[in-house]
Amino acid sequence: MNEVKIFVDEFTGKKNIDWLSVCGRRPPSFGGHGDFVDAIVMGATDDNFLKVRFQDKFFKPKKGDTLSFLFDKDKVEVFSIDHEPYEIAKHSDWGLMKEVLFPMMYRQLITFSTETFITWKFKSSNKELLFKSGVAGKQIGNDPFRPLENLQNVIKQLFSEYLTIAQGEILDLFKDESILKPEEESCFVYLMKDNINGAYKIGISNSPEYREKTLQSEKPSIELIESKQFQKRRIAESFEKLLHEYFKNKRIRGEWFQLDNNDIIDLKLILNR
Protein backbone atom coordinates (compact mmCIF):
# COMPACT_ATOMS: atom_id res chain seq x y z
CA MET A 1 0.00 0.00 0.00
CA ASN A 2 1.16 3.52 -0.81
CA GLU A 3 0.34 6.30 1.65
CA VAL A 4 0.12 9.89 0.53
CA LYS A 5 -0.26 13.11 2.54
CA ILE A 6 -2.14 16.11 1.12
CA PHE A 7 -1.99 19.33 3.12
CA VAL A 8 -2.07 23.12 2.79
CA ASP A 9 1.03 25.09 3.76
CA GLU A 10 -0.09 27.64 6.39
CA PHE A 11 2.54 30.16 5.28
CA THR A 12 2.04 30.06 1.50
CA GLY A 13 -1.53 28.81 1.24
CA LYS A 14 -0.41 26.27 -1.37
CA LYS A 15 -1.62 22.69 -1.43
CA ASN A 16 1.17 20.14 -0.96
CA ILE A 17 1.38 16.45 -1.86
CA ASP A 18 3.94 14.11 -0.27
CA TRP A 19 4.43 10.34 -0.17
CA LEU A 20 4.67 8.97 3.37
CA SER A 21 5.28 5.35 2.47
CA VAL A 22 5.70 3.13 -0.56
CA CYS A 23 4.48 -0.48 -0.36
CA GLY A 24 4.15 -0.08 3.39
CA ARG A 25 7.60 1.28 4.17
CA ARG A 26 8.97 4.78 4.43
CA PRO A 27 11.45 5.92 1.76
CA PRO A 28 14.31 7.41 3.81
CA SER A 29 17.29 7.56 1.46
CA PHE A 30 19.51 5.91 -1.08
CA GLY A 31 20.92 3.03 0.94
CA GLY A 32 24.12 1.10 0.54
CA HIS A 33 22.47 -1.10 -2.11
CA GLY A 34 21.07 1.89 -3.96
CA ASP A 35 17.36 1.09 -4.04
CA PHE A 36 15.56 3.74 -6.08
CA VAL A 37 12.23 3.35 -4.28
CA ASP A 38 13.97 3.76 -0.92
CA ALA A 39 15.04 7.22 -2.02
CA ILE A 40 12.04 8.74 -3.69
CA VAL A 41 9.62 11.13 -2.03
CA MET A 42 7.54 12.87 -4.66
CA GLY A 43 5.88 16.16 -3.94
CA ALA A 44 3.90 18.90 -5.61
CA THR A 45 2.82 22.44 -4.82
CA ASP A 46 2.23 24.92 -7.65
CA ASP A 47 5.31 23.28 -9.15
CA ASN A 48 5.93 19.60 -9.73
CA PHE A 49 9.15 18.05 -8.46
CA LEU A 50 10.93 14.84 -7.62
CA LYS A 51 12.38 14.89 -4.11
CA VAL A 52 15.34 12.54 -3.55
CA ARG A 53 17.24 11.89 -0.32
CA PHE A 54 20.86 10.75 -0.17
CA GLN A 55 22.90 9.21 2.60
CA ASP A 56 26.13 11.20 2.74
CA LYS A 57 28.13 8.07 3.59
CA PHE A 58 27.43 6.61 0.14
CA PHE A 59 26.69 9.69 -1.97
CA LYS A 60 27.95 13.25 -1.66
CA PRO A 61 25.71 15.14 -4.08
CA LYS A 62 26.51 18.72 -5.02
CA LYS A 63 25.42 21.34 -7.50
CA GLY A 64 26.16 20.26 -11.06
CA ASP A 65 25.89 16.49 -10.42
CA THR A 66 23.31 14.47 -12.34
CA LEU A 67 20.90 11.64 -11.59
CA SER A 68 19.87 9.67 -14.69
CA PHE A 69 17.22 7.00 -15.23
CA LEU A 70 17.24 4.44 -18.03
CA PHE A 71 14.02 2.78 -19.21
CA ASP A 72 13.30 0.14 -21.83
CA LYS A 73 13.62 1.12 -25.50
CA ASP A 74 16.69 3.11 -24.36
CA LYS A 75 14.52 5.94 -23.00
CA VAL A 76 16.64 8.21 -20.78
CA GLU A 77 15.61 10.93 -18.31
CA VAL A 78 18.40 13.07 -16.84
CA PHE A 79 18.00 15.35 -13.81
CA SER A 80 20.66 17.92 -12.92
CA ILE A 81 21.22 19.25 -9.39
CA ASP A 82 20.88 23.03 -9.76
CA HIS A 83 21.17 23.92 -6.08
CA GLU A 84 23.23 22.80 -3.12
CA PRO A 85 21.55 19.82 -1.38
CA TYR A 86 19.76 20.48 1.88
CA GLU A 87 20.93 18.78 5.08
CA ILE A 88 17.82 17.35 6.71
CA ALA A 89 19.04 14.79 9.29
CA LYS A 90 22.03 12.99 10.75
CA HIS A 91 22.33 9.26 11.38
CA SER A 92 24.90 7.68 13.69
CA ASP A 93 25.86 5.01 11.12
CA TRP A 94 25.17 6.64 7.78
CA GLY A 95 26.17 10.23 8.47
CA LEU A 96 24.31 13.22 7.10
CA MET A 97 21.13 12.79 5.10
CA LYS A 98 20.70 15.30 2.26
CA GLU A 99 17.75 16.17 0.08
CA VAL A 100 17.56 17.40 -3.51
CA LEU A 101 14.55 18.71 -5.45
CA PHE A 102 14.35 18.01 -9.18
CA PRO A 103 11.66 19.85 -11.19
CA MET A 104 9.61 17.33 -13.19
CA MET A 105 7.84 17.87 -16.47
CA TYR A 106 4.54 16.20 -17.32
CA ARG A 107 6.23 14.10 -20.01
CA GLN A 108 8.71 12.79 -17.41
CA LEU A 109 5.88 11.71 -15.14
CA ILE A 110 4.36 9.90 -18.10
CA THR A 111 7.68 8.15 -18.76
CA PHE A 112 8.01 6.93 -15.16
CA SER A 113 4.40 5.77 -15.05
CA THR A 114 4.33 3.93 -18.40
CA GLU A 115 7.87 2.83 -19.36
CA THR A 116 9.75 -0.06 -17.73
CA PHE A 117 12.57 1.08 -15.42
CA ILE A 118 15.97 -0.54 -16.05
CA THR A 119 18.57 1.28 -13.95
CA TRP A 120 19.67 4.61 -12.54
CA LYS A 121 23.07 6.30 -12.38
CA PHE A 122 24.47 9.02 -10.11
CA LYS A 123 27.31 11.04 -11.66
CA SER A 124 29.58 13.67 -10.10
CA SER A 125 32.82 15.24 -11.32
CA ASN A 126 34.92 12.40 -9.92
CA LYS A 127 32.52 9.50 -9.40
CA GLU A 128 29.90 7.42 -11.20
CA LEU A 129 27.60 4.99 -9.42
CA LEU A 130 25.41 2.63 -11.43
CA PHE A 131 22.47 0.93 -9.74
CA LYS A 132 22.43 -2.87 -9.85
CA SER A 133 19.18 -4.58 -8.94
CA GLY A 134 18.49 -8.20 -8.21
CA VAL A 135 18.58 -10.80 -10.95
CA ALA A 136 15.28 -11.08 -12.77
CA GLY A 137 13.02 -13.52 -10.95
CA LYS A 138 15.32 -13.82 -7.93
CA GLN A 139 14.46 -12.58 -4.46
CA ILE A 140 17.26 -10.98 -2.44
CA GLY A 141 16.74 -11.40 1.30
CA ASN A 142 13.37 -10.10 2.46
CA ASP A 143 13.45 -7.03 0.25
CA PRO A 144 10.02 -6.64 -1.44
CA PHE A 145 11.52 -4.42 -4.17
CA ARG A 146 13.74 -7.20 -5.45
CA PRO A 147 13.63 -9.06 -7.81
CA LEU A 148 13.75 -6.40 -10.51
CA GLU A 149 10.21 -7.09 -11.75
CA ASN A 150 8.80 -6.06 -8.37
CA LEU A 151 10.73 -2.79 -8.44
CA GLN A 152 9.56 -2.04 -11.98
CA ASN A 153 5.92 -2.59 -11.04
CA VAL A 154 6.23 -0.49 -7.89
CA ILE A 155 7.72 2.46 -9.80
CA LYS A 156 5.02 2.41 -12.48
CA GLN A 157 2.26 2.22 -9.89
CA LEU A 158 3.84 4.91 -7.70
CA PHE A 159 4.12 7.47 -10.49
CA SER A 160 0.76 6.58 -11.96
CA GLU A 161 -0.93 7.14 -8.59
CA TYR A 162 0.97 10.37 -8.07
CA LEU A 163 0.01 11.70 -11.50
CA THR A 164 -3.66 10.94 -10.83
CA ILE A 165 -3.58 12.59 -7.40
CA ALA A 166 -1.69 15.66 -8.63
CA GLN A 167 -4.07 16.22 -11.52
CA GLY A 168 -7.06 15.81 -9.21
CA GLU A 169 -5.83 17.93 -6.32
CA ILE A 170 -3.96 20.66 -8.21
CA LEU A 171 -5.94 21.20 -11.37
CA ASP A 172 -3.61 23.76 -12.97
CA LEU A 173 -0.38 21.92 -12.12
CA PHE A 174 0.50 21.29 -15.78
CA LYS A 175 -1.29 24.27 -17.35
CA ASP A 176 1.90 25.91 -18.66
CA GLU A 177 3.43 22.77 -20.14
CA SER A 178 3.32 21.53 -23.69
CA ILE A 179 1.95 18.05 -23.07
CA LEU A 180 3.60 15.46 -25.30
CA LYS A 181 3.07 11.74 -25.15
CA PRO A 182 6.33 9.73 -25.08
CA GLU A 183 5.74 8.46 -28.63
CA GLU A 184 5.51 12.08 -29.86
CA GLU A 185 8.93 13.13 -28.55
CA SER A 186 11.96 13.35 -30.80
CA CYS A 187 14.14 10.24 -30.81
CA PHE A 188 17.26 8.81 -32.49
CA VAL A 189 17.90 5.57 -34.33
CA TYR A 190 21.53 4.65 -33.70
CA LEU A 191 24.22 2.18 -34.73
CA MET A 192 26.77 1.03 -32.12
CA LYS A 193 29.63 -1.44 -32.33
CA ASP A 194 31.22 -3.78 -29.82
CA ASN A 195 34.88 -3.54 -30.81
CA ILE A 196 35.72 -6.83 -29.08
CA ASN A 197 33.39 -9.23 -30.89
CA GLY A 198 32.51 -7.03 -33.89
CA ALA A 199 28.76 -7.13 -33.23
CA TYR A 200 26.57 -4.10 -34.07
CA LYS A 201 23.57 -2.77 -32.15
CA ILE A 202 20.67 -1.10 -33.98
CA GLY A 203 18.52 0.68 -31.42
CA ILE A 204 16.62 3.84 -30.52
CA SER A 205 17.16 6.36 -27.73
CA ASN A 206 16.30 9.95 -26.94
CA SER A 207 19.97 10.32 -25.92
CA PRO A 208 22.29 7.96 -27.86
CA GLU A 209 25.45 9.54 -26.43
CA TYR A 210 24.23 8.86 -22.90
CA ARG A 211 23.18 5.33 -23.88
CA GLU A 212 26.68 4.77 -25.27
CA LYS A 213 28.24 5.79 -21.94
CA THR A 214 25.80 3.59 -20.01
CA LEU A 215 26.77 0.57 -22.11
CA GLN A 216 30.45 1.50 -21.81
CA SER A 217 30.18 1.40 -18.03
CA GLU A 218 29.36 -2.31 -18.40
CA LYS A 219 31.51 -2.96 -21.47
CA PRO A 220 34.10 -0.27 -22.42
CA SER A 221 34.44 -1.68 -25.95
CA ILE A 222 31.08 -0.18 -27.05
CA GLU A 223 31.30 2.68 -29.58
CA LEU A 224 28.60 4.90 -31.12
CA ILE A 225 29.04 4.81 -34.93
CA GLU A 226 26.13 6.85 -36.28
CA SER A 227 22.69 8.18 -35.31
CA LYS A 228 19.75 9.87 -36.99
CA GLN A 229 17.14 12.03 -35.25
CA PHE A 230 13.41 11.70 -35.90
CA GLN A 231 10.88 14.25 -34.73
CA LYS A 232 8.64 11.62 -33.14
CA ARG A 233 9.57 8.47 -31.21
CA ARG A 234 6.89 6.39 -32.93
CA ILE A 235 8.51 7.16 -36.31
CA ALA A 236 11.94 6.16 -34.94
CA GLU A 237 10.42 2.93 -33.60
CA SER A 238 8.95 2.14 -37.02
CA PHE A 239 12.28 2.84 -38.75
CA GLU A 240 14.15 0.71 -36.21
CA LYS A 241 11.66 -2.13 -36.78
CA LEU A 242 12.26 -1.97 -40.55
CA LEU A 243 16.03 -2.21 -40.06
CA HIS A 244 15.64 -5.12 -37.64
CA GLU A 245 13.43 -6.91 -40.15
CA TYR A 246 15.84 -6.23 -43.02
CA PHE A 247 18.81 -7.66 -41.09
CA LYS A 248 16.86 -10.43 -39.31
CA ASN A 249 19.01 -13.16 -40.90
CA LYS A 250 22.08 -11.55 -39.34
CA ARG A 251 20.66 -11.16 -35.82
CA ILE A 252 22.81 -12.53 -33.00
CA ARG A 253 20.39 -11.70 -30.19
CA GLY A 254 17.93 -8.90 -29.46
CA GLU A 255 19.19 -5.70 -31.11
CA TRP A 256 22.67 -7.09 -31.87
CA PHE A 257 23.63 -8.11 -35.42
CA GLN A 258 26.67 -9.52 -37.23
CA LEU A 259 27.00 -7.05 -40.14
CA ASP A 260 29.56 -6.88 -42.95
CA ASN A 261 31.33 -3.81 -44.40
CA ASN A 262 28.69 -3.24 -47.10
CA ASP A 263 25.94 -3.29 -44.47
CA ILE A 264 27.79 -0.67 -42.43
CA ILE A 265 28.35 1.56 -45.47
CA ASP A 266 24.63 1.38 -46.30
CA LEU A 267 23.60 2.11 -42.69
CA LYS A 268 25.92 5.09 -42.43
CA LEU A 269 24.46 6.56 -45.62
CA ILE A 270 20.90 5.98 -44.41
CA LEU A 271 21.54 7.48 -40.96
CA ASN A 272 23.36 10.49 -42.45
CA ARG A 273 20.49 11.59 -44.68
The residue among 76 and 40 whose pLDDT is bigger is 76
Same domain for 230 and 104: no
Same domain for 78 and 125: yes
DSSP notation for 89-108: EEETTTEEEEEEEEE--HHH
Would 149 be classed as within a structural domain?
yes
Number of structural domains in the chain: 2
Identify the domain boundary among 169, 191, 214. Answer: 169
What domain range is 264 assigned to?
Answer: 183-272
Question: CB–CB of 70/214 below 8 Å?
Answer: yes
The residue among 48 and 223 whose pLDDT is bigger is 223
pTM over 0.85? The answer is: no
Q: Mind listing the pLDDT tens digit for each residue in 96-138?
A: 777 887 877 777 888 888 888 888 888 887 777 776 554 444 4
Rounded to whole angstroms, how far apart are CA atoms 244 and 207?
20
Same domain for 265 and 160: no
